[in-house]
Amino acid sequence: MEPTAFPQDLVQAQRDWIRTYEALAQPHSPRNTVLRRRLLELSAQIWWHPFFTTSGGRAPRARVELRRLARERGQRTARAS
């Protein structure tokens, strides 16, 4: 499978979604409401991104690849810190 060229803003939104989800998963977070709202906002931003109206973005595998790429880049960033 060819790698998909995702727009940088879409990858960043997916990385933010992952970080927000992980923060929400922490027990006894005092910011649950704020995190849930942010997660919904990011979900809508990702779901309705113009990239997914193109032929390359219509396949479900593009969404899977986006999540994989965002996790990979997030891990690289964490290791570099």
**pLDDT over 70 at 6, yes or no:** yes
* Token output for 9: 């803003």
Q: How confident is the model at residue 29 (pLDDT cuts 50, 70, 90)?
A: confident
CB 51 within 8 A of CB 6: yes
CA distance 9 to 21: 18
Range with the poorest average pLDDT among 16-20, 30-34, 52-56, 59-63: 52-56
**pLDDT over 70 at 17, yes or no:** yes
CB 66 within 8 A of CB 48: no
pTM for the whole structure? 0.84
